[in-house]
Amino acid sequence: MSAASRAPLRSIRTNRIADRTADARVRVRSRAALAVGAAAAALLVSACSSGGTSGGGGQTGFITGSDGIATAKEGERADAPDLSGETVDGGQVDVADYKGKVVVLNVWGSWCPPCRAEAKNFEKVYQDVKDQGVQFVGINTRDTSTGPARAFEKDYGLTYPSLYDPAGKLMLRFEKGTLNPQAVPSTLIIDREGKVAARTLQGLSEERLRKMLAPYLADDSGKSEK
């Protein structure tokens, strides 16, 4: 076979090798892109659905139970910070006005699936206990406008107010170790003296919300249960 005849064959083989190499590179890039996408999705779910059971440093006196609900004894509870401002629906709320009541403070975002899952539980329990000296207040965070937050409240029939806190500034007012600003949803119980008595940094079922609240409901004498 002449050199002229062999040249086209060499060209064909070279092209085939180049094609296989290019295909391999595409597969590698595709697998890498899928891995990155999966990692990003996992991070998003983790950031929304849980923040662990710790809120950073600080001596806040919390003891965390096996159910993820942490409580602090009287005398070891941190003061709740100033929590006041505009609500999702354009009103005004100052949590200090509820001193003397038990306040259930729920941090939520319309973008958060666990928040959607627990919303109906909060409204149901609120309707059951609001005449027992209990006030529910939400803190809506990371919604860049009030439109989605208002739609969330309407969809789930929420009748208690929620402070609008898109940048999380209210959450940063809590004493270090009391509340993890990255944990959405999370829930705090503020006792009748305005101190943080209990917390959980995860979504709540109706049963667990009732369990968390029960020790702080007033008994027949008007005193808090211990």
Q: Rounded to whole angstroms, how far apart are CA atoms 56 and 126?
A: 29
Read off the pLDDT of residues 141-195 as tens digits, 9 standing for 90 and up: 999 999 999 999 999 999 999 999 999 999 999 998 899 889 999 999 999 999 9
Q: Rounded to whole angstroms, how far apart are CA atoms 119 and 108?
A: 9
Closest-CA residue to 78 (of 184, 181, 188): 188
Whole-angstrom CA distances from 35 to 4, 15, 169 are 48, 30, 34
In terms of C-beta density within 10 A (0-12 exposed, 13-18 middle, 19 or more buried), how is residue 100 classed? Answer: exposed
Closest-CA residue to 94 (of 142, 145, 163): 163
Task: Classify 224 as helix, strand or coil.
Answer: strand
Residue 11 banded pLDDT, cuts 50, 70, 90: low
The distance between the two most distant Cα atoms of the chain, rounded to a whole number of Å, is: 110
pTM of the model: 0.74
What pLDDT, on a 0 to 100 scale, did the predictor assign at position 8?
A: 52
